[in-house]
């Protein structure tokens, strides 16, 4: 195994790269998560990701938009870092490394 004990796993690193490449989509991801929390009292990041896909492919007609399911948990965690109140509304689990 290479890297340090504290290195990101490959999916987490790829999610961070996705956020950097798609900052507007990540802002919308977090906005959708906050809206879901306000209306439902809980947040499911998988549902948020599906709603984000809908927004880009149907509403914005962006057929090139992609979001990898392996990244969703890390996008959610980054969203919680920005909006800490979401942590009480999400069930998080430990993740597996590479």
93 backbone dihedrals φ, ψ, rounded to 5°: -125, 165
Domains of the chain by residue range: 26-89
Tell me the percentage of the chain whose pLDDT exceeds 90.
Answer: 67
What's the whole-model pTM score?
0.83
Q: What is the pLDDT of residue 96?
A: 58
Classify burial at 44, counting beta carbons within 10 Å of its beta carbon; exposed 0-12, middle 13-18, buried 19 or more: middle
Distance, in Å, from the CA atom of 34 to the CA atom of 53, rounded to the nearest integer, reads 17
Residue 5 has pLDDT above 90, yes or no: no
- 3-class DSSP state for residue 41? coil
Residue 93 has pLDDT above 80, yes or no: no
pLDDT digits (tens, 9 = 90+) for 29-74: 999 999 999 998 888 999 999 999 999 999 999 878 899 999 999 9
């Amino acid at each position: 195994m290479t890297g340090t004990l504290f290195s990101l796993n490959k999916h987490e690193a790829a999610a961070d790269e996705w956020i950097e490449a798609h900052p507007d989509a990540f802002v919308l991801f977090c906005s959708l998560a906050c809206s879901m929390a306000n209306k439902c009292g809980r947040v499911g990041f998988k549902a948020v990701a599906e709603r984000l896909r809908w927004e880009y492919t149907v509403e914005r007609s962006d057929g090139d938009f992609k979001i990898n399911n392996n990244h969703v948990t890390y996008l959610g965690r980054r969203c919680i870092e920005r909006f800490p109140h979401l942590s009480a509304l999400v069930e998080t689990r430990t993740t597996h490394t590479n």
